[in-house]
Chains A and B, each alone.
Chain A
Amino acid sequence: MASYNTSEFKSGLKIMMDGDPCAIVENEFVKPGKGQAFSRVRFRNLKTGRVIERTFKSGDSVEAADVMDSELQYLYSDGEMWHFMNPSSYEQVAADAAAVGDSARWLKEQDMCTVTLWNGAPLSVSPPNFVVLTITQTDPGVRGDTASGATKPATVETGAQIKVPLFVELGERVRIDTRTGEYVSRVK
């Protein structure tokens, strides 16, 4: 497996640390006037999400992690695994609940998602920043109430629960910001 030297460390670099794939968040060069140079590195464990700090001697190397982001199309879920396909090669991969995580709330069939692959297997899934989903359940709003900022709960086709303005009706399509889980607008 390829390796990186401390002189190549930079934000975003994917490395292996204690058996887990990690991404460097920050790399600081530390050197006393008369002494050994070090790299103080903060990196995110891509499996656990935790940020850890470690110090390396200048000139040390670490194993590179075979971590790649790819844009894959979400196909379907069988309850246990979520299936994605590369639209050009037609290759499929299956991601488990751990990899899919919270994005399961927003996955709509045929949407393109960013799937982070480690050694070819899904490590994490990011839905697109915005998704358009149909309201499958909500109480009727008060007619004409388009001005108040009040919201009501609603369920969308993926099963996710969101808050929408009172004028949004059952069967309407809405745009949601997946990063915040918030309603953005109605979509015709």
Chain B
Amino acid sequence: MNGTWQPTASIAVLRERARLLAATRAFFARHGVLEVTTPVLGRSGPRDVHLSLVEARFPGRQDATWYLQPSPESAMKRLLAAGSGPIFQIGPAFRAGERGVRHNPEFTMLEWYRPGFTLAQLADEVDALLGELLALAPARRVRYRDVFQAQVGLDPMSAANVELAAAAQRAGLRAHAPTDRDELLDLLFSHGVEPALGPGAVHVTQFPASQAAMARVADGVAQRLEVYLNGVELANGYEELTDAAEQRRRFDEQDAARAARALPRPPLDEELLAALEHGMPPGCGIALGMDRLVMLATGAHSIDEVIAFPLERA
């Protein structure tokens, strides 16, 4: 590439990106979903141990740390509790420490919420959206347990940690002292199952209960939907947790996990809990990586090809 003042995405790709953004907005307008804009700066942030939050400060106010949101989830749920009805947002999301061929620490998230929808209805809407944007056929729908078993040869719901660890070892995957079941499942799924999902759109549902922080758990299974396109993770959706007490319990659990790993501990998201206590209508929500969508639409190999200025040129 020439001077670093130049974008890493070609103008042609930026035009296609703009077309996809406009088409997305048109889709939701037609489907009666309201576009909202919520703050990127927040007083707290998700406590997921695998998320590293970008922090910000106001000059002169050294006491308060602000967090750049890794997704607009918290604010959008507050809007739902306030009676917004179905809403969507396309905006920047921030995750520190995530840089690679498909990751930039600042990326664009499409997130939308459907009060009253089941996960199956949400899956249908994802099919409709991708069908319009990318002329894709409806996704192949599979269960986590089935694809895991087919690729790894173990039942993810019942296999012992030592068996999972042995499978990881056989696949040449190095997991330090693998006592963490979730780590083993992540490792085996992302390394063994995802690459084998094949071309086209695939919806994976019925995740193990331990694998979703903000989702409802029913019948021991997390009500979660993962959308893959050509083996690349595109979107992550849930039947949303509406129980304030359960949500608070999970936030506390995550805080303890962060403390145990000496990670920064963002304050409790009191506003979201208050909104849940007031009452959020049951339904589903989903977050989709727009840059990945543009990559898949344009055949790009790297996220740099679809972002004007990735981190190194920001």
26 contacts between A and B (CB under 8 A): A28-B100, A29-B99, A29-B101, A29-B102, A30-B100, A30-B190, A31-B100, A31-B103, A32-B194, A34-B213, A34-B236, A35-B190, A35-B211, A36-B50, A37-B50, A38-B187, A38-B190, A40-B191, A54-B172, A55-B172, A55-B187, A55-B191, A56-B174, A57-B174, A57-B176, A60-B174
Contact A29 B236 (CB under 8 A): no
Contact B97 A58 (CB under 8 A): yes
Residues of B within 8 A of A31 (CB): 50, 98, 100, 103, 190
Known contacts A28-B100, A28-B101, A58-B97: A33-B176 contact under CB 8 Å: no
Q: Mark A37-54, 1 if CB is under 8 A from B, else 0.
A: 110100000000000111
Closest residue of chain B to A40 (Cβ to Cβ) is B191
Residues of B within 8 A of A28 (CB): 100-101
Residue B269 at the chain A interface, CB threshold 8 Å:
no
Contact B233 A33 (CB under 8 A): yes
- 9 closest pairs, A vs B, by CB? A29-B100, A35-B186, A55-B173, A33-B236, A36-B186, A32-B190, A36-B183, A36-B50, A54-B174
- Most B C-beta atoms less than 10 A away, residue of A30, A34, A55, A57: A34
Residue B135 at the chain A interface, CB threshold 8 Å:
no
Shortest distance from the beta carbon of A13 to any chain B beta carbon, whole Å: 16
Residues of B within 8 A of A185 (CB): none
Residues of A within 8 A of B236 (CB): 33-34
Residues of B within 8 A of A38 (CB): 187, 190-191
Q: Which residues of A contact B (CB under 8 A)?
A: 7, 28-38, 40, 52-58, 60
Contact A32 B189 (CB under 8 A): yes
Residue B35 at the chain A interface, CB threshold 8 Å:
no
Residues of A within 8 A of B172 (CB): 52-55
Q: Which residues of B contact A (CB under 8 A)?
A: 48, 50, 97-103, 172-176, 182-183, 186-187, 189-191, 194, 211-213, 226, 233, 236, 287, 289
Residues of B within 8 A of A55 (CB): 172-174, 187, 191
Closest residue of chain B to A31 (Cβ to Cβ) is B98
Report Cα–Cα, A56/B101, bound state, in Å. 17
- Most A C-beta atoms less than 10 A away, residue of B99, B100, B102, B236: B100
Shortest distance from the beta carbon of A158 to any chain B beta carbon, whole Å: 41
Closest residue of chain A to B183 (Cβ to Cβ) is A36
Residues of B within 8 A of A58 (CB): 97
Residues of B within 8 A of A32 (CB): 186, 189-190, 194, 233
Closest residue of chain A to B194 (Cβ to Cβ) is A32
Residues of A within 8 A of B187 (CB): 36, 38, 55
Residues of B within 8 A of A53 (CB): 172
Report Cα–Cα, A32/B98, bound state, in Å. 11
Closest residue of chain B to A32 (Cβ to Cβ) is B190
Residues of B within 8 A of A29 (CB): 98-103
Shortest distance from the beta carbon of B253 to any chain A beta carbon, whole Å: 15
* 15 extra A-B contacts, CB within 8 A, seeds A35-B189, A40-B191, A55-B174: A28-B100, A29-B100, A29-B103, A30-B190, A30-B191, A32-B189, A32-B190, A33-B233, A33-B289, A34-B213, A34-B236, A35-B182, A54-B174, A55-B191, A57-B175
CB < 8 Å neighbour of A34 from B173, B174, B211: B211
Report Cα–Cα, A60/B178, bound state, in Å. 13
Report Cα–Cα, A54/B102, bound state, in Å. 19
CB < 8 Å neighbour of B98 from A34, A37, A52, A56: A37
Shortest distance from the beta carbon of B215 to any chain A beta carbon, whole Å: 10
Contact A34 B212 (CB under 8 A): yes
Shortest distance from the beta carbon of A27 to any chain B beta carbon, whole Å: 9
Residues of B within 8 A of A52 (CB): 172
Closest residue of chain B to A33 (Cβ to Cβ) is B236
Known contacts A32-B189, A36-B187, A40-B191: A60-B176 contact under CB 8 Å: yes
Report Cα–Cα, A58/B51, bound state, in Å. 12
Shortest distance from the beta carbon of A160 to any chain B beta carbon, whole Å: 39
Report Cα–Cα, A7/B101, bound state, in Å. 14
Shortest distance from the beta carbon of B99 to any chain A beta carbon, whole Å: 6
Report Cα–Cα, A23/B50, bound state, in Å. 28
Shortest distance from the beta carbon of B47 to any chain A beta carbon, whole Å: 12
Contact B175 A35 (CB under 8 A): no
